[in-house]
Amino acid sequence: PVTVYPDQYEASKKVANKIKEIILQKQSIGKNAVLGLATGATPVDVYAELVKMHKEDGLSFKNVITFNLDEYYPMQPDSKQSYVAFMDENLFSHIDIKRENIHIPDGTLPKEDIANYCLEYENKIEEMGGIDLQILGIGRTGHIGFNEPGSAPNSGTRLVTLDDLTRRDASRDFGGKENVPTKAITMGIGTIFKAREIILMAWSRKKASIIKKAVEGEISGKVPATYLQLSDNVKFVLDREAASELT
């Protein structure tokens, strides 16, 4: 199902409200809410809205556990391009989440430790009861998380190679494509699919053609986001421009 909003602000408010509902519902039964989070430009207004809900309405994140989709590899957490820094700046440093409840793939590990680490990341999600709601953006390659074209539908958390277009799109943050890491650790398509609910958001005309493929195109590993068509738990939340090529 696709929902189109006049602009990203209204859409982001709806998504933030959905997150709030899950947090409050879990709170009322004394349980944790487990959220799968994304970085990048797309979810920024959702996070701003959640910060506002915390500051103005007293929404607490004490019962919230988060798992981020991905991190560049290699990446130091204190580097300004890290997804650790991004999450702190846009959300975590402004709310009352417990530090130990935050999980972001570790971009500092030696290569030989990554496979085990990724299995543990999967196990941790399971131990916490699984992801209640996974938030996604979409890359112009059709990636979700950093599952680039060629990713298997049952893939798990792993080290991947970034597509050239993805590195070009990130070049501004890094001051040139040559500075963008060539790899990342990402949750897999299979990991994402286990979430009880999934919301993929996309804004602006830049995303219109990949959204058309993701929503209406043939299901194929060439556009990993098309796998989402196979799930009953997915909502596509779009602004008018991102939806402009849909029939």
Tell me the three-class secondary structure of the chain, residue by residue.
CEEEECCHHHHHHHHHHHHHHHHHHHHHCCCCEEEEECCCCCCHHHHHHHHHHHHHHCCCCCCEEEEECEEEECCCCCCCCCHHHHHHHHCHHHCCCCHHHEECCCCCCCHHHHHHHHHHHHHHHHHCCCCCEEEECCCCCCCECCECCCCCCCCCCEEEECCHHHHHHCHHHHCCHHHCCCEEEECCHHHHHCCCEEEEEECCHHHHHHHHHHHHCCCCCCCHHHHHHHCCCEEEEEECCCCCCCC
**Which of 27/40 has CB closer to ligand F6R?**
40
Q: Smallest distance from the beta carbon of 203 to ligand F6R, in angstroms?
A: 8
Q: Smallest distance from the beta carbon of 41 to ligand F6R, in angstroms?
A: 4
Is 245 an active-site residue? no
State which residue has the least CB distance to ligand F6R: 137
Catalytic residue among 148, 178, 241, 245: 148
Q: Which residues bind ligand F6R (CB under 6 A)?
A: 38-42, 69-70, 137-139, 143-146
**Which of 63/68 has CB closer to ligand F6R?**
68
**Which of 15/38 has CB closer to ligand F6R?**
38
Q: Smallest distance from the beta carbon of 247 to ligand F6R, in angstroms?
A: 23
**Which of 11/63 has CB closer to ligand F6R?**
11
Q: Smallest distance from the beta carbon of 237 to ligand F6R, in angstroms?
A: 13
Task: State the catalytic residues.
Answer: 148
